[in-house]
Amino acid sequence: MHCDDRWTTLHKNHEQYELVAQGVKLTALATLFAGLVLNLSPCWLILIQLLLWGQEAIWKTFQARLADYLLALESNPQLPGYYQYWQTQRPSSLGLIIQYGKSAFRPTVLFPYGLILMGLLLVEVV
């Protein structure tokens, strides 16, 4: 595949990751409102929000890896395919977990989960 074709395809994928991340956020809000309407325990709502927050963090980490490859591809059109490149850059299992954790606390991922969780914790405590 020609470099320009690879770049275009991967860039479209990068943008799709953003749409999916927004879908996860909307799912988090929808489940919060549904849980409140159904009078679910705040503990269950917190668990659901934590799971969705983690899922978005993982998704955004995938997106960041794709962006890294796109930037590298722009600098060096002779790069190997994405998966070969990923294998050369792949951190250890602990490194992957650290990447996901860092991603979770980026402001664009943290919002709205941080606010939701603080609110639910306040409800649980009060």
- pLDDT on residue 77: 87
C-alpha distances out from residue 37 to 27, 94, 118, Å: 15, 39, 19
What pLDDT, in 10s, does the model give residues 60-89? Answer: 999 999 999 999 999 998 888 888 988 998
Give the confidence band of 116 by pLDDT, cuts at 50, 70, 90: very high
17-64: pLDDT as tens digits: 999 999 999 999 999 999 999 999 999 999 999 999 999 999 999 999
What pLDDT score was predicted for residue 19?
96
